Amino acid sequence: MARISNDQRMATLHQEAMREFDNIQGAVRDERLQCLQDRRFATIAGATWEGPLGSQFESKPKFEVNKIALAITRIINEYRNNRVTVDFISKDGTDATSLAETCNKLYRADEQDSMAVEAYDNAFDEAVTGGMGAYRLRACYEDEEDDENEHQRIRIEPIYDADSSVFFDINAKRQDKADAKSCYVLTSMTPDAYRDEYDDDPATWPKDVEQTGFDWSTPDVVYVAEYYRVEHKNEVVRVFQAIDGTEERYTEADFENDPELEVTLSAIGSVEVRQKKVKRKKIHKYILSGGKVLEDCGYIAGNCIPIVPVYGKRWFIDNIERCMGVVRFAKDPQRLKNMQLSKLGEISALSSVEKPIFVPEQVVKHSVMWSQDNIKNYPYLLVDPVTGADGSQQVVGPVAYTKSPQIPPAMAALLQLTETDIADILGNQQNGDKIVSNISGKAVEMVQQRLDMQAFLYMNNHNKAVQRGGEIWLSMAREIYVEPRRRMKGVGVQNEVESIEIMRPVLDRNGEVVMENDLSQAKFDVVATLGPSSSSQRSATVRSLLGMLQLTQDPQTQQVLLAMAFQNMEGEGISDVRAYFRKQMVQMGVMKPNPEEAEQMAAQAAQQDPNAAFLEAAAEEALAKAAKARADVVGTVANSELTRAKTLETISKIDTDQTRVALELVQSIGLPEQAPPRPKL
């Protein structure tokens, strides 16, 4: 059988990729176009008049009063005020280990260093506005300018125009696309930039590229795609048994990276006991254009496609993924309002002054005066007499007067209906901006809670996306962060920066050498936690705690309630106060300490106050002396009892001997026997 060359394999792969992309792009083209139009409608000036409506108002005023932007801004502000955090927890439900805490700190450090906030914000903004956003995770060198530093870090980067650039295979049904088999990320370039970077001319592409449903090359733009493809690779795992009976597993890659590994195992007495075939999931990355595969990037770190989609609202209808944001259903009422305001502005712009209408003969000599009257405001205006039928000059007034335009009654009613429709669709945003007297705080809180629910769906979907991003990060970190004794930056919960040493050899309780912070063994579940739903709810929590504070007289309970109130307060410079009260609640046993706090408490216990240690030693000494005195008393009592017993025994022996002698004497002289007297004690 002839062996297929690499060029033939790449050509076949390119044809398959082009065919698959055409199917994906053809299925979602109309839906993605609506997402793009929604984003333009809400953010670009004049976009509300795009299409046939703009043609109808070509020569007329076109005003815009963007009500939708306010609703979008409110949702975005709510999200930015309540960030999503990622936590790694054990799969068996046990308490978080130090390795899980290490993952949390490294993840926060990667977020901080890569400006992940920008990626999250851009994805959320596009999802709320158009219906879909996305961001990516990428492994890059820690210092690209240092030739000797080969360490890598994971970066979280934004993807702009995700509705026009990110396409997953159409069989992927999950919202986070964890079940996707392929993904395309498009990047647009100018033809000149494409030729310079890839040394390829779109004019030389095969003709069948022009027959595809997507224009990979136009006179102005050339598209390049990152193509991620899931592959399952069979791998043999060899199991060796050491001389102490423990088993160790090695993959083919281990033997390829260390040619002396098998000799080393044989020298230390390890014996191969069995082999196991496993199927591992790998992600293959390619760079391709409409004409060919430009680059084979090989397998990337991790076993997940490193693209995270974020949706606003999402459904599957007719087996097609559909999504939208806030704008979709509010566009028509917004267009109608702009039309009415433009028409109303046009009517109002017309002169409201009644103008006289003359025959030309009356004003022909004074036309300049009449035309400049609105500027110079003459005290009087002149007209010429009109020649009558009999040839005489006759002075007559204006023939008629112009009338001010009137607003149609239907327009006034329609304006009110349109305003109501927009408010209903966008959630009555204006109610949250009103401050009305004589209304209880509970009523205001209920209004704010209703507004918060408008943002909950979008924030919940973003929460799912961030959780997927944490899963992708963990799969990449297990393969990247494996260098022995490597020091890395970590960020704690309170944004404190620390140094973490991974793959550090330490001794366990059994005296065996193990690797501390070994991320290759980090197999955790990822949980994304959404912050408080709104500032109003945090304020309500503080009010409730302060109300409970007045109902109790227990000082300890009052201290706990006050500390919890400070934990939920917001304000400039209050973070230090929160830390102080958290420390108090941990010491009181109200809150469970994290690993760092547990270590600090253990260290404090080991370093006690000398005075306290002296008092404790003195107390122990006093207890020891009391115990000794008690023992002496017990011993004295015991000796007294022993002496008394010996005395009784001696007396008993004496009485017995006397009785025996008396009996012998009676028998010798022949006297009758009598009962011996009872010994006296």
pLDDT digits (tens, 9 = 90+) for 102-112: 999 999 999 99
Q: What is the pLDDT of residue 3?
A: 63
| 612-616 mean pLDDT | 60
Q: Bigger pLDDT: 26 or 595?
A: 26
Whether residue 138 is predicted with pLDDT greater than 80 in this model: the reply is yes
Residue 96 — pLDDT band, cuts 50, 70, 90? Answer: low
Whether residue 315 is predicted with pLDDT greater than 80 in this model: the reply is yes
Residue 36 — pLDDT band, cuts 50, 70, 90? Answer: very high
Q: What is the pLDDT of residue 673?
A: 45
Q: What is the pLDDT of residue 208?
A: 67
Q: Bigger pLDDT: 403 or 274?
A: 274
Q: What is the pLDDT of residue 171?
A: 92
Whether residue 646 is predicted with pLDDT greater than 70 in this model: the reply is no
pLDDT tens figures, 478-492:
999 988 889 999 988
| 172-197 mean pLDDT | 93
Whether residue 609 is predicted with pLDDT greater than 70 in this model: the reply is no
Nearest to 255 by CA among 247, 246, 263: 263
Q: What is the pLDDT of residue 336?
A: 87
Q: What is the pLDDT of residue 449?
A: 52
Q: What is the pLDDT of residue 678?
A: 45
Nearest to 291 by CA among 217, 218, 226: 217
| 330-344 mean pLDDT | 86
Residue 636 — pLDDT band, cuts 50, 70, 90? Answer: low
H helix or E strand, kind and range, residue 276: strand 271-288
Residue 266 — pLDDT band, cuts 50, 70, 90? Answer: confident
Q: Bigger pLDDT: 629 or 189?
A: 189
Q: What is the pLDDT of residue 33?
A: 94
d(C-alpha 26, C-alpha 212), whole Å: 10
Distances (CA, A) of 419 to 65, 382, 429, 435: 11, 49, 12, 21
d(C-alpha 49, C-alpha 55), whole Å: 8
Can you name the residues that pair with 247 across neighbouring β-strands?
241
| 560-586 mean pLDDT | 76
Q: Bigger pLDDT: 120 or 538?
A: 120
pLDDT tens figures, 420-473:
777 777 766 555 445 444 555 554 455 445 545 678 889 889 999 999 999 999
pTM summary value: 0.71
Q: What is the pLDDT of residue 401?
A: 76
Q: What is the pLDDT of residue 444?
A: 45
Q: What is the pLDDT of residue 158?
A: 96
Residue 606 — pLDDT band, cuts 50, 70, 90? Answer: low
Q: What is the pLDDT of residue 108?
A: 93
- Is there a contact between 216 and 289 (Cβ–Cβ < 8 Å)? yes
DSSP reduced 3-state for 94? coil
- Is there a contact between 523 and 91 (Cβ–Cβ < 8 Å)? yes
Q: What is the pLDDT of residue 121?
A: 94
Of the listed ranges 55-59, 531-535, 573-577, the least confidently predicted one is: 531-535
Amino acid letter, 85 = T
Q: What is the pLDDT of residue 541?
A: 76
Residue 676 — pLDDT band, cuts 50, 70, 90? Answer: very low
| 607-612 mean pLDDT | 60
Q: What is the pLDDT of residue 654?
A: 45
Q: Bigger pLDDT: 452 or 20?
A: 20
pLDDT tens figures, 360-391:
888 888 888 888 887 888 888 888 888 877 77
Of the listed ranges 9-23, 299-313, 543-557, 650-664, the least confidently predicted one is: 650-664
d(C-alpha 622, C-alpha 488), whole Å: 52
Q: How far is CA 593 from the centre of its chain?
A: 24
Q: What is the pLDDT of residue 148?
A: 79
pLDDT tens figures, 63-90:
888 888 888 988 898 888 888 888 898 8
Whether residue 408 is predicted with pLDDT greater than 50 in this model: the reply is yes
- Residue 49 has φ and ψ, to the nearest 5°, of -105, 10
Nearest to 541 by CA among 568, 572, 502: 568
Average pLDDT score, the chain: 80
Residue 626 — pLDDT band, cuts 50, 70, 90? Answer: low
Q: What is the pLDDT of residue 264?
A: 85
DSSP state of 212: S
Which of 30-44, 230-244, 336-350 is the most confident on average?
A: 30-44
Sign of CA dihedral 377, 379, 384, 385: positive
Tokens for 487, please give them: 């020091």
Nearest to 396 by CA among 407, 388, 381, 385: 385
Amino acid letter, 624 = A
Contacts of 551 (CB under 8 A, 6+ apart): none
Q: What is the pLDDT of residue 47?
A: 87
Q: What is the pLDDT of residue 204?
A: 83
Provide the angle, in degrees to the nearest 10, between the axes of the packed helices 98-113 and 116-129: 80
Sign of CA dihedral 511, 516, 521, 522: positive
| 157-167 mean pLDDT | 95
Give ∠ CA 537-570-442 in degrees, rounded to 5: 30
- Is there a contact between 145 and 138 (Cβ–Cβ < 8 Å)? no
pLDDT tens figures, 522-558:
888 898 887 654 455 567 677 787 888 777 888 888 8
Whether residue 594 is predicted with pLDDT greater than 70 in this model: the reply is no
Residue 495 — pLDDT band, cuts 50, 70, 90? Answer: confident
- Is there a contact between 75 and 128 (Cβ–Cβ < 8 Å)? yes
Q: CA-based diameter of the chain, in Å?
A: 209
Task: Give me the percent of the chain exceeding a pLDDT of 70.
Answer: 79
Task: Give me the percent of the chain exceeding a pLDDT of 90.
Answer: 27
DSSP state of 186: E
Q: Bigger pLDDT: 434 or 219?
A: 219
Q: What is the pLDDT of residue 37?
A: 93
Whether residue 477 is predicted with pLDDT greater than 50 in this model: the reply is yes
Q: Are strands 247-251 and 293-299 parallel, antiparallel or unpaired?
A: unpaired
Nearest to 131 by CA among 27, 25, 28: 28
Contacts of 481 (CB under 8 A, 6+ apart): 106, 488, 502, 519
List, in sequence order, every beta strand (DSSP E) within 325-370.
356-357
Q: What is the pLDDT of residue 228?
A: 96
Give ∠ CA 70-74-79 in degrees, rounded to 5: 150
